[in-house]
Amino acid sequence: MTEALSPDQAIERARAAAEAAKEAAAQAAEAAQAAQSYVDSIADAAGAAAHAATGGAIDPFVFRLAIFVLAIFVGYYVVWSVTPALHTPLMSVTNAISSVIVVGALLAVGVDLMAAGSGFARGFGFLALIMASINIFGGFLVTQRMLAMYKKKS
C-alpha cells in the first residue's frame, strides 16, 4: 500500500530526489571526462608508438587518420554483407548504439564542463543529437516494416 503524502512531504522528497540526481549527473560528468582522457591517452600512446617505431616517419595524426579510414572500410563491408534475415536484429543494435549517442549529445549540449570554448562542443552536440534522433526514428520505421513482412496476411 502507498501512504498518502502531504504536499510538504512530497516537495521535500522531490527536492531530495533532485539533489541526488544533481550529484549523480556531476559524478557521470566526471566519469565521462576521465574516460575521454583515458581514450585520448591510449590514442596518443598508439600514435607515439607508431612514430617511435618508424623512426619518426609516421606522424601521429596520419596514424589516427589511417585508423579512421580503415574503420570506414570495415564498417562498409560489414554492413553490406549482412543477410536480410539478420537485418532486423542489426537495426535493433544500431538503435541501441544511437540511443547511447543521444545521451552523450545531451551531455555535450546541456552540461557546462568548460567555461570557455564550449560553443563548438554544444554545436556538435546539438548536431549529433539531431542526427542520432533521425537515425533512431528511421531505424524503428525500417524495423517495423521488416517485421511486417513476416506477418501472415489475413
pLDDT tens readout for residues 28-39: 777 777 777 777
Please check the confidence at residue 134 and state whether its pLDDT lies above 80. yes
Contacts 24+ apart (CB under 8 A), 55-58: none
User: Are 100 and 88 in contact, with CB atoms under 8 Å apart?
Assistant: no
Q: Which three cell numbers stand for residue 27?
A: 559524478
Q: What is the pTM of this model?
A: 0.42
Q: What is the pLDDT of residue 2?
A: 57
Axis crossing angle, helix 87-110 with helix 7-53, rounded to the nearest 10: 100
Q: Which helix (H) or strand (E) holds 17?
A: helix 7-53
Contacts of 135 (CB under 8 A, 6+ apart): 94, 95, 98
What is the average per-residue pLDDT within 31-57? 75
CA 56 from chain center: how many Å?
34
pLDDT, tens digit (0-9, with 9 covering 90-100), for 97-129: 777 888 878 877 776 655 555 677 778 878 888
Percentage of the chain modeled with pLDDT above 70? 88
Identify the CA nearest to 133 among candidates 108, 105, 109. 105
Confidence of residue 7 (pLDDT cuts 50, 70, 90): confident
Contacts of 46 (CB under 8 A, 6+ apart): 63
The angle at the Cα of 104, spanning 98 to 107, to the nearest 5 degrees, equals 145
Q: What is the pLDDT of residue 113?
A: 58
Q: What is the pLDDT of residue 106?
A: 80
Q: Among 5-14, 82-91, 129-138, name the one with the lowest average pLDDT.
A: 82-91
- What residue segments make up the domains of the chain, in order of their start? 7-81, 83-154
Phi-psi region of 55 (alpha: psi -120 to 50; beta: other; left: phi over 0): left
